[in-house]
Structure 1
Amino acid sequence: MDIVRQSSFGSALMFFLSFWSRWTRPGKAHKSNSIPKGTKLIKKVLGAVAAGALLVATLTGCASSETAEGGLIGVSMPTQSSTRWISDGNSIKEKLEADGYSVDLQYAEDDIPTQVTQLEGMLTKGAKALIIAAIDGTQLTDVLQKAADSGVPVISYDRLIRDSANVDYYATFDNFKVGVLQATSMLVGMGVYASETSTSADGANAAGPLNVELFAGSPDDNNATFFFNGAMSVLQPLIDSGVLVVGSGQTDFTQVATLRWDGAVAQKRMDDILVGSYKGGAKVNGVLSPYDGLSRGIIASLTAAGYTASDLPTVTGQDAEVLSVKSMLAGEQYSTIFKDTRELAAVAVTMAVAILKGETPETNDTTTYDNGVKTVPSYLLTPYIVTTDNYKELLIDSGYIAEADLG
């Protein structure tokens, strides 16, 4: 029952109570404590009516607090520190609500116990399905078992949840390709590749040697390994041939990983690399960065060390965050990767709704994503390189970013 009707019941109740108090209040005409016979009857009638109004209002309030017709779906996002995850959460919520479901959307602010507690709370509230972007994909085994015990399906969202048989489906992008695109973009920016379609050194600086540094994402995020491996499939042959030189010597994933995708951590590591490995005028020509937030930290380190827009190395990124697109337009960051998270949200919602309707969700990959216990059926979307040459077409024309937001 809507708010207007609830308000009417409330008004009626207030009227009856006010009327009742006037009839039952001892007045000057009744100096004794006895109540006139007529008043006793009216009191009984008004009392019954008031009680009925109160009961209806109470039931109305209860009805308004129930979940939507489709039921409750829990959506767990890792953090609000990245605009990307805010956008993802909002997109999923809007699409689920449009399909008739109520949504419990929560952000765990990169705290694993908080995410576990939030998920347990969603189950307690009676969530019929969970869509989870994990902070640490290895730390949700117990709570996912609770979900399975309650018959609640789980959609792993963009970050693969590992070490659990209770992950039903995975919605993500082609993460290996993301790394390939990042490496390709860096090589084009440095002049090693003539274009993004090149598969071998054919650019003006094909002979090298050129100095590069490598950064990777959080070691507890399964995607970080895919990004790095995709990039190294392109870069390693050029490192082996001497076209590229990693000045710091740090080429192993464990050496270059950045916990929690923290830009400040990346900035500090870049500071240390510049001090320790680039003395005597040696310059960095390219930096492989897997995420825009890291890219901005890396660029901050480089500019603090004296680099300017005219000699900054080619720095890659990912997620097409507004601040990084602005950085690209300012001649700082070279590129980013556009992953249309609106499409990803739609895939995750379609998966969840299909399961709840007893249908089998569409997938296009059933071999790649082994979480250590099972190979999770997945749907992979396509990522795109974004530079100043095509950002309008990919980001502005698609409505992903408003041109006004770029200043």
Structure 2
Amino acid sequence: MIKKLFIIICSLMFFIISCSGGNDSDKILVGVAMPTQSSERWINDAANMKANLEKLGYAVDIQFAEDDVQTQVSQIENFIAKGVKCLVVASVDSQALVNVLDQAKNNGIPVIAYDRLLMDTDSVSYYATFDNKGVGTKIAEYIVKAKNLETAKQENRSYTVEFFMGSPDDNNALFLYNGIMEVLQPYLDNGVLVCKTGRTSFQDTCILRWSQETAQQWAENYLSGYYNNQKLDIACSAFDGFAYGIRSALEASGYKVGEDWPLISGQDAELMAIKNIISGHQTMTIFKDTRILAEKCAAMVDAVLKGGEPEINDTTQYNNNVKVVPTYLCEPIAIDKNNYQSIIVDSGYYTEEQLQVN
């Protein structure tokens, strides 16, 4: 309920900001397609993109698709009809956008993928994102260190673990999963990590549209079906929203913080996630400073529209099945109760007042 209220307030603030400002009729128009306002993260991304592009002198039209593929297709078609000069797209399902992105290319409109790679098209020019495999690597490395997995075998220790991975239509989710498994698979192989459901493949652990409700349902089913006589030690979650659902399932099953609460990971450093870390209901999250991502993406737009070359630091990883998309990767950071103050608060991402735990 608190999360939903926060999102509603953010959405209203974003609407007010969007409606303010002077006459943009003489400015170059940039269209920004975002997936949803149901996640705090995308609201912040939109606000940051708008601020950065307007600072560079552009008019900005931002649309949210609310995770509906056809809505996003229609929004991009409307952008093209309006005559936008550049498109920034954080896709709902990129494979469904191939035709409309071809329309953009045929109209001479460059397309920049924002934090979700646009697959199966040559109509995307550049990609701005975080090191998605690195996100998975950092989650897994945190688990290894927190549970001292390197010495667990010789000390005859083992831990139960279940996996909650991202949406199968989001290419980032597979990168993240691969980063996790590259680190944790050896511990699954030698029995230090035990997945009682046996669900460890990406196909078995991916959650469509990053649904918190699905993650909660899975956790409830796992706890009732496999963990009646043994506790769950680690919930390897790829998203803060999953962690909220897992928390609800654990509380309903009688788990208590400070007694038998498992290690729960996450991603995005949402406000609620940091509060949960402070209270002990979530162990860690991955901080992806969307202020930096938006700044880098806006600079890409500016360079493209001025006929220049944007800053790129990866030209090998992101093959969308048609081309390797030139990419700028921002660095993710693992956050827990020991460093949230110095990284989250001291940088101004959240204030102490925002992080007060009720």
Judge same fold: TM > 0.5, yes or no. yes
Report if aligned partners of 1:84, 1:321 keep a CA contact under 8 Å in 2.
yes
Q: What is the deviation of 1:190? A: 2.8
Q: Deviations over 1:131-152 (max 9, x none)?
A: 1100112111011011001100
Is 1:303–2:260 an aligned residue pair?
no
Per the alignment, in what secondary structure is the counterpart of residue 363 of structure 1? Answer: coil
- C-alpha distance in 1 between matches for 2:219 and 2:296: 37
- Could you tell me which residue of structure 1 aligns to residue 279 of structure 2? 330
Q: Which 5+ residue runs of structure 2 have no aligned equivalent?
A: 1-20
- C-alpha distance in 2 between matches for 1:104 and 1:205: 58
Per the alignment, in what secondary structure is the counterpart of residue 73 of structure 1? Answer: strand
> What letter matches 2:230 in structure 1?
A
Q: What is the deviation of 1:299? A: 1.2
Q: What is the deviation of 1:189? A: 3.0
- Could you tell me which residue of structure 2 aligns to residue 51 of structure 1? none
- Could you tell me which residue of structure 2 aligns to residue 222 of structure 1? 171
1:261 aligned residue (206, 210, 214): 210
- Could you tell me which residue of structure 2 aligns to residue 91 of structure 1? 48
1:282 aligned residue (227, 230, 234): 230
- C-alpha distance in 2 between matches for 1:289 and 1:205: 27
- C-alpha distance in 1 between matches for 2:113 and 2:297: 8
- C-alpha distance in 1 between matches for 2:342 and 2:182: 29
Q: What is the deviation of 1:386? A: 0.2
Report if aligned partners of 1:68, 1:100 keep a CA contact under 8 Å in 2.
no
Please show how residues 16-27 of structure 1 align to structure 2 within 5 Å. Answer: none
2:157 aligned residue (208, 218, 231): 208
Report if aligned partners of 1:191, 1:205 keep a CA contact under 8 Å in 2.
no
Q: Deviations over 1:292-334 (max 9, x none)?
A: 0011101111111110102111000010001011111111100
> What letter matches 1:297 in structure 2?
G
> What letter matches 1:295 in structure 2?
A
- Could you tell me which residue of structure 1 aligns to residue 321 of structure 2? 372
- C-alpha distance in 1 between matches for 2:80 and 2:155: 56
- Could you tell me which residue of structure 2 aligns to residue 354 of structure 1? 303
- C-alpha distance in 2 between matches for 1:144 and 1:258: 26
- C-alpha distance in 1 between matches for 2:347 and 2:153: 33
- Could you tell me which residue of structure 2 aligns to residue 196 of structure 1? none
Report if aligned partners of 1:183, 1:231 keep a CA contact under 8 Å in 2.
yes
> What letter matches 2:33 in structure 1?
S
- Could you tell me which residue of structure 2 aligns to residue 166 of structure 1? 123
Determine which structure has greater relative contact order: mean sequence separation of CA pairs < 8 Å that are 6+ residues apart, divided by chain length: 2
- C-alpha distance in 1 between matches for 2:299 and 2:220: 44
- C-alpha distance in 1 between matches for 2:277 and 2:79: 40
Per the alignment, in what secondary structure is the counterpart of residue 406 of structure 1? Answer: coil
The TM-score normalised by the length of structure 2 is 0.91
Report if aligned partners of 1:208, 1:244 keep a CA contact under 8 Å in 2.
no
Is 1:187–2:139 an aligned residue pair?
no
- C-alpha distance in 1 between matches for 2:59 and 2:222: 49
- C-alpha distance in 2 between matches for 1:232 and 1:379: 24
1:390 aligned residue (304, 325, 339): 339
Report if aligned partners of 1:191, 1:204 keep a CA contact under 8 Å in 2.
no
Report the aligned-residue RMSD: 1.5
Please show how residues 21-36 of structure 1 align to structure 2 within 5 Å. Answer: none
- C-alpha distance in 2 between matches for 1:320 and 1:207: 34
Q: What is the deviation of 1:70? A: 4.0
Report if aligned partners of 2:153, 2:192 keep a CA contact under 8 Å in 1.
no
Q: Deviations over 1:32-74 (max 9, x none)?
A: xxxxxxxxxxxxxxxxxxxxxxxxxxxxxxxx99635441000
Q: What is the deviation of 1:388? A: 0.3
Q: 1:189 to 1:143 in 2, by over 3 A?
A: same
> What letter matches 1:365 in structure 2?
D
Per the alignment, in what secondary structure is the counterpart of residue 113 of structure 2? Answer: strand
Q: Which 5+ residue runs of structure 1 have no aligned equivalent?
A: 1-63, 193-200
- C-alpha distance in 2 between matches for 1:290 and 1:278: 21
Q: 1:143 to 1:372 in 2, by over 3 A?
A: same
- C-alpha distance in 1 between matches for 2:154 and 2:332: 27
Per the alignment, in what secondary structure is the counterpart of residue 90 of structure 1? Answer: helix
> What letter matches 1:149 in structure 2?
N
- Could you tell me which residue of structure 1 aligns to residue 135 of structure 2? 178
- Could you tell me which residue of structure 1 aligns to residue 64 of structure 2? 107
Q: 1:86 to 1:112 in 2, by over 3 A?
A: same
- C-alpha distance in 2 between matches for 1:123 and 1:67: 17
- C-alpha distance in 2 between matches for 1:177 and 1:272: 30
- C-alpha distance in 1 between matches for 2:293 and 2:206: 25
Residue-pair matches, total: 335
Q: Deviations over 1:329-376 (max 9, x none)?
A: 111100000010000001111111101000011101001000011110
- Could you tell me which residue of structure 1 aligns to residue 15 of structure 2? none
Q: What is the deviation of 1:204? A: 10
Q: Which has the larger radius of gyration?
A: 1
Q: What is the deviation of 1:276? A: 1.6
- Could you tell me which residue of structure 2 aligns to residue 126 of structure 1? 83
